[in-house]
Every structure is written in C-alpha cells, then in structure tokens.
Structure 1
Amino acid sequence: MQVQDAGQGEGQQAGPQAGFAVIDWSKPWFAPFAGRGRRWQQAALTSYAALLAEMNADAAVMRQTTGRGQRLAFIAQDDLPPGAAYEAHIASTGCVPTRHNLHDFFNGSMWFAFPRIKAALNARQSAAIDVLGVGPTRGGVRDALTLFDENALLFACADPALSAALRGFDWRTLLVTRREAWGSSCEVRCFGHALLEKLIAPFKACTGHAWIVDVPPSYFEWNAAARDAWLDESVSAALLDTDALASRMFAPLPVLGIPGWWPENDAPVFYDDASVFRAGRRSRLA
C-alpha cells in the first residue's frame, strides 16, 4: 500500500496537518462527532498511515458494511485501481479510498455517525453506475445522491409549520418568532462532509441543503444516540425508495443562522441580510 501525504482533487488541503490542527470540536456542527473525531484528529496529525490505522481499527470493531454488504475498510487513495469508479469500488470491495485531507476525514466520520445512510447512498450510487456507467455527467439521481452526501443537513422536525417555514423561505418565522422551538420541536444534524469541511472556517453565506425528516414529538425526549439511530434508519429507508428520492426536495438553510449555532444570530437584525437569507423563488411567487 502506498501512503502519501497529498492526494489531488476535491477537498485537498495545502499541508493537511495544518487543516486537521484547526478543527474546533466545541463548534455545534462538529460536537456530535467529537468523541471519535478527536482520536482521528490526533492520528491524522501523526501521519497518513496512522489515520488509516485508526479508522480501520474502529471499522473492525463496528463491523459496518457498505452498499452491497461488504465489510467496511479504508484504503489509501493510491490503492484505488486505475479506471475503477469510486462508489462501485466501495460497493464491491467494502474499501473506501481515503486521502489525507479534511474532506475524506469527514467522509469517513459519517460512515460511523450515520452508517445506514452512508450504505444506502453507496447502494444507490453503485446501482446507478451499473445501469448508466461512468460518463461525463452523473444523471439526476446520482446528482441528488451526491448533493446529499456532500452538503446535506438533516432537519428533524415534529412541527409541520416549521417545516413549511423552511420550505417557504420564511426565515422570520423559522429563526426568529419560533426560535424557542429549536431543541424542542426541531433540530439539525450536519451530514455532508464537504459542508463540514467548509465549516472549518465558517462564513455567513455557508449554506447546507436541508433534508426534512418528520419525527415524532417524543424524539426530543430521547438522548443524542437514540435520535441519531432513528434518523439513520428513517433517512436510509427514504434514500432506498426510488420514488421518494426523485420527488423529495432539498431546502437551503444558511448554517450560521441556526439558533444557538452562531453568537451573532442572537440579534434579529442578523437575518435582515437578504444576500444570505433570500426570499427564494417559491416565496416570491407566493
């Protein structure tokens, strides 16, 4: 196995150790993943080989599988055979090609935080590749799956009025007048690994694609592990439903606008920035 410090491509950091060093696990978007993340961070700061070893040690304990039931493992990017499609390789072998950078670090993290969702995404992606092959464009289904994988927020909500406010770009209702509902009727989990990478250096316009998950009111009485397990099962089932994926719409949500996630949003004037909290086409039509 060839293990080098720098691969090329999306998410590559200039000097990967520098990127790993600045992860702030106290931030609300990183905090749910901090337990395992801190161990992986220390390994990544040691070497590429140490990171892969730590990831594979956890995979051996968890016994997670990928989209076609293969046992999860992590390999160096250089071990991906020439011409092999990334998702198809994961499905057929269980081996996730991983670079020594933040992008792939957070991708690996999601295999443990939401294993069923990751397996469902891999199953759908590899099935689409079987049918259409790997061409210059992914096609609508693969585009939607990739968008979810890279940039999704899971918006868990027990109040249809709040879901409607999100879909309708009604920021004032969702984030100001119904602010007290956050934590008791709705909440967000970051899932997209490219989004997590961007949040290393957060900026006001940083926007995720929210996937709305209807949850029972009792959801907010459960502990964090039970909530994540429920989301993992529910969302993975939806992703495997071909009709649901085709019809489901993402809703843009500026991450720093989430109540409690950024100090400046305590002031309602924070949401007056129309360049970030846009009306949206559907709101304009209404």
Structure 2
Amino acid sequence: MADGVTASSLGPIDWDAPWLQPWRRQGQPVAQSVARGCSVHQALQAAAPHGAPMAFAHQSELPAGTAYEQYIRDTRRVPTRDNLHDFFNGLVWLHFPHTKRRLNALQAGAIAADGVQAVRGPLRDALTVFDENGALLWAPAPLWDALRARHWQRLFIDLRPLWGEARLVLFGHALMEKLVLPRKPMVAHFYQALVATDSIANLDAWLASGIDAGRWAAKPFTPLPVLGVPGWWPANAAPGFYADPQVFRPPPAGRGAGVG
C-alpha cells in the first residue's frame, strides 16, 4: 500500500469509544478489510450502498495540478490515500453523503471563482474547519447557553444530568483520526443541531439542506474540549478535571461567565 496503511495503523481504533458508536457498524468491517490487505478506497467502495452518489478512487487518479475539491465535483470520485485520515474521511462520505456533497460544491464553487489561493477565504476556511474538526450537538437550551458562555462548572457539573438528553455526533474526519490517541486538549467545533434524532440519515438530510454560504462564512461553531463530554472519558468524572484553564479556557475579556 503506497501510503503505509497496515493492520497496525488501523488496529488501535477503539470501536467501543463512545464517540465512535455511530460509526462502528460500517467502520469496523471496513477497517477489518484493510487489515486483511485491501486498500482503503477498495474497502470503502465495497461498503458503499448501491447507487451511492460518490465512488472512491486511489489518490493516484487525481491529476497533477487539479484541485482535490474540483476533481470530486467534476468526477464524483473521492481520491483516497491509504492512511487513517482518508479512512475516516471515507466513513463520513458513507454516512453523510448529502452534507459532504454540499460542502464539496461550495468549496469547488469558491475555487472556480477565486482559484486556489495561499490563504483560504472566509467561506472555504469555515467549511474546512467543520469538515476536518466539526461535530453536531442537539442539547437542551441550558446546556447550549452554558457552552456558549464557556461556563464550564455549570455546563459539566451543575447541569451534568442534562447531558443524558443530548445527542452528539462527530463529523470531522481529522478529529476522529486524532481521537484514536485521545488527549485532553482536543477541541471539536460544534454546530447546533435543531433536530433531536439518533438517525444519521435524518441528520444528513437536515444539515445538507441548511448549509447557507453567507451564514457559514461567519463560522457558526462553538468550540468544546470534546473529552469533557460526560461519559466520553473516565477522567472527567472527577470535578477537578475541568479546573484546567489551559483546556477549559475562561470567556474572552469583556464577556461574563454567565449564561448568554
């Protein structure tokens, strides 16, 4: 395999991790296929449903000088390297095909209009942040209020029982790659889900239909140290876990720590 995916490189994935539960049913068999010697793009393609809007291709099919996003839009083929990053990217394509197509269309449209620049514009930057590091959260209003205020004590301790009503789904493939070796400072950029559902297909349809270029250019995301989510990391059961200002940072100067 050209980029070095082996059984050992996908083997460390803990499919029992809470954040991987929505991905396990399809993801674990794909990882097992790769462990048996299949290339990542072949394993993903074998898992794709009949009539899927996108196919997976080896990275070598991407012509030199052609923008990745433009190639996907033009060919409906996703160039895929044999590495963990593209493995998770492929899983997101399998689960969120409509959203990924919408993100790709906006990226390709911006590239067609402005070219590939050294610095991404606001829209492409926001799309990339979510594509790489985003997550979806439906939660009762008090949790969102505390999260936006960075009132960590209220969010994670006072309101801890409310997390049982929340619904969280990771989206960013780089985030999932990093969480293979979890560390406390890892931050996800959460987008507020307005539908409370355990169905990724429903989330995909809702999210894809609501991505507005103007609004998303303003990055409507809220950062959250993802291992602080109750039940996602054993260490956060100790209240002192959140008393770490290097990870759970206070509100910016001028913003109170209250709800708002």
Q: Report the TM range for the smaller structure's normalisation.
A: over 0.9
Cα 1:187–1:174 change in 2 (3 A) is farther
Which runs of structure 2 are paired with 1:80-95 in the superposition (5 Å)? 80-95=62-77
Counterpart of 1:197 (choices 162, 168, 177) is: 177
* 2:169 equivalent to 1:180: no
Q: What residue number does 1:11 align with?
A: none
TM-score, normalization by structure 1: 0.84
Q: What residue number does 1:164 align with?
A: 145
Q: CA shift at 1:163, angstroms?
A: 1.3
Tell whether the 8 Å contact from 1:16 to 1:102 is kept in structure 2 after alignment: no
Q: Which ranges in structure 2 are unaligned for 5 or more consecutive residues?
A: none
Q: Structure 1: how far apart are the matches of 2:124 and 2:213?
A: 12
Amino acid at match of 2:44: M
Secondary structure of residue in 1 paired with 2:252: helix
Cα 1:15–1:126 change in 2 (3 A) is closer
Aligned alpha-carbon RMSD (Å): 1.7
Report how many residues are paired: 256
Tell whether the 8 Å contact from 1:238 to 1:244 is kept in structure 2 after alignment: no
Q: CA shift at 1:94, angstroms?
A: 0.7
* 2:49 equivalent to 1:52: no
* 2:237 equivalent to 1:266: yes
Tell whether the 8 Å contact from 2:6 to 2:37 is kept in structure 1 after alignment: no
Counterpart of 1:238 (choices 190, 210, 218) is: 210
Q: What residue number does 2:83 align with?
A: 101
Q: Structure 2: how far apart are the matches of 1:143 and 1:122?
A: 13
TM-score, normalization by structure 2: 0.92
Q: CA shift at 1:173, angstroms?
A: 1.6
Secondary structure of residue in 2 paired with 1:29: helix
* 2:122 equivalent to 1:140: yes
Which runs of structure 2 are paired with 1:203-282 in the superposition (5 Å)? 203-215=183-195, 219=196, 224-225=198-199, 228-239=200-211, 241-281=212-252
More deviation in 80-89 or 246-255? 246-255
Q: What residue number does 2:2 align with?
A: 5
Q: Structure 1: how far apart are the matches of 2:192 and 2:184?
A: 22
Q: What residue number does 1:64 align with?
A: 52
Q: Structure 1: how far apart are the matches of 2:98 and 2:146?
A: 29
Cα 1:16–1:139 change in 2 (3 A) is farther
Tell whether the 8 Å contact from 2:190 to 2:224 is kept in structure 1 after alignment: yes
Tell whether the 8 Å contact from 2:123 to 2:218 is kept in structure 1 after alignment: no
Q: CA shift at 1:260, angstroms?
A: 0.5
Secondary structure of residue in 2 paired with 1:277: coil
Q: Structure 2: how far apart are the matches of 1:175 and 1:231?
A: 25
* 2:98 equivalent to 1:116: yes
